[in-house]
Amino acid sequence: MERIILHSDANSFYASVECLYRPEIRSKPVAVCGDPEERHGIVLTKNQVAKRFGIQTGEAIWQARQKCPELVVVPPNYPLYLHFSEMLREIYEQYSDRVEAFGLDENWLDISQEGRSFEDGVAIASEIRERIREELGITVSIGVSDNKIFSKLGSDMKKPDATTALPQSSYEEKVWPLPVSSLLYVGRKTTKKLMQVGIITLGDLANSDTEALHSLLGKNGLTLKAFALGLDHSPVMRLTAEAALKSIGNSTTPPHDIENADDAECIYYLLAESVSARLRAHGFTAKTLSISIRDTELRTASCQCQLCPPSNITDDLAKTALCLFRARFSASFPLRSVGLNCSSLMPDTLPRQQDLLGVSARMDRLESLERSLDSLRARFGHQIVQRGVVMRDKAFACVNPKEDHIIHPAAFYMG
């Protein structure tokens, strides 16, 4: 049976939804941005009109307005975007029971079926695009291939509202001339390493020396070469956007720079409150914790360690984050922003190993207490109960990382 994999990517997702609900801005350059008053003023996504001015995701609002003084800036409305993500999935599931989310605005579909040809798959992709445009009022671009990696590549090749087919017979002609950075999982650092040894295009990667590539990138290099050859046999899993989460994290740019250790402790407790609450809400504990920093020159750094035992308790996350921070970044002040991320997620229904020192019993008590706090905050707001440590600075105490600064999967920002 011929494999037919679609990758559907909602075009300029945030901005498209905002323009749908605000007809008066549809013909104008629009960017969905964080709050500049809270120093979160960066572009999260932009519409097609704004793209013509060269506005880039991730740049500051003032930079975007230098390129386009008439730019319309709107704040993000996450609940609305989640609602549209669910409606998109409802349409996809009418074509396949194998739909795998890659963030909120991207999904793979496996529509392989006995007797169905690749050309039938292309026709189905176009039908899905038309339905989304007519029923939801937004557009998607869809890539069609025999594997997930190239279907994702196809959806990126032509935007907006397009179907791009990449059958096996077209790899050498359509795929190999593309820059190596266009391949999924090839980031900036990997791109730089590959270009330093003359691997510029996907064709170069596909035809590179295996041993040299392994020496340069390790096992990851061999995987990327296989991807460039179209040798991706990974299945499309039935995953919702929520289930597709591989990590849960948060970062914040506070109202003023983080100047000292007390400021860092305050902010990391705020972030730990947010991340631990989301871990509990999704039914997870975490085995790995990482922290990141960004200084006032916008240089970034990060490090990580293991949580033993796995935890979703605020105090555990905050104290571990602070230990990492003191060991690695205590001389890095002032800082513009910091982040905390938990990965290697495990279901919180797994039994805890009992011990003679009472660690397990302590964690049970703390988790029960924090779930009670979750309930209170759900009813009366996140700041109805606050820790003393976050009250040291009134400006920091007003930060609400749980509701205001949710970090979505990276794919959410690729539109």
* pLDDT bucket at 238, cuts 50 / 70 / 90: confident
Catalytic residue IDs: 106
* pLDDT bucket at 353, cuts 50 / 70 / 90: low
Question: What whole-number percentage of the chain has pLDDT above 90?
Answer: 59
Residues 23 and 137 in one domain: yes
283 or 304: which leads in pLDDT: 304
Q: How far is CA 301 from the centre of its chain?
A: 18
Residues 28 and 137 in one domain: yes
Residues 98 and 147 in one domain: yes
So what's the pLDDT on residue 250? 85
Residue-wise pLDDT for 50-77, tens only, equals 999 999 988 888 899 999 999 999 998 8
* pLDDT bucket at 361, cuts 50 / 70 / 90: confident
Which range, of 52-61, 124-133, 270-279, 373-382, averages the lowest pLDDT?
373-382
Please say whether the beta carbons of 92 and 107 come within 8 A. yes
> What is the C-alpha to C-alpha distance for residues 129 and 161, in angstroms, rounded to an integer?
7
Residues 252 and 115 in one domain: no
Q: Residue 344 above 80 pLDDT?
A: yes
Residues 239 and 252 in one domain: no
Residues 167 and 296 in one domain: no
Provide the CATH number for the domain around residue 38: 3.30.70.270
Q: Residue 406 above 80 pLDDT?
A: no
Query: What is the helix (H) or strand (E) element at residue 42, kind and residue range?
Result: none
Residues 157 and 255 in one domain: no
Residues 5 and 23 in one domain: yes
> What is the C-alpha to C-alpha distance for residues 244 and 100, in angstroms, rounded to an integer?
8
So what's the pLDDT on residue 243? 55
Residues 9 and 155 in one domain: yes
**Order of all β-strands in the sheet with 106-110:** 99-101, 106-110, 5-10, 140-145, 163-165
Mean pLDDT for the stretch of residues 229-246: 77
Q: Residue 34 above 80 pLDDT?
A: no
Q: Residue 244 above 90 pLDDT?
A: no
Residue-wise pLDDT for 110-145, tens only, equals 999 999 999 999 999 999 999 999 999 999 999 999
Question: What whole-number percentage of the chain has pLDDT above 70?
Answer: 90
* pLDDT bucket at 255, cuts 50 / 70 / 90: confident
Residues 139 and 278 in one domain: no
Q: Which of 55-64, 170-179, 341-350 has the highest mean pLDDT?
A: 170-179
* pLDDT bucket at 102, cuts 50 / 70 / 90: confident
Q: What is the mean pLDDT of the chain?
A: 87
With tokens 């950075």, the residue in question is: 181
> What is the C-alpha to C-alpha distance for residues 110 and 103, in angstroms, rounded to an integer?
17
State pTM to two decimals: 0.68
- Residue 86 located in a structural domain: yes
**Residue 34's closest CA among 19, 44, 25?**
44
Mean pLDDT for the stretch of residues 29-53: 82
Distance linking the first and last C-alpha atoms of the chain? 32
Range of the domain at 85: 1-175+232-244
So what's the pLDDT on residue 205? 97
13 or 308: which leads in pLDDT: 13
- The answer for residues whose C-beta is within 8 angstroms of residue 331's C-beta and 6 or more apart is none
* pLDDT bucket at 357, cuts 50 / 70 / 90: low
Tally of CB atoms within 10 A around 145? 29
Q: Residue 94 above 70 pLDDT?
A: yes
So what's the pLDDT on residue 376? 81
Q: Residue 80 above 70 pLDDT?
A: yes
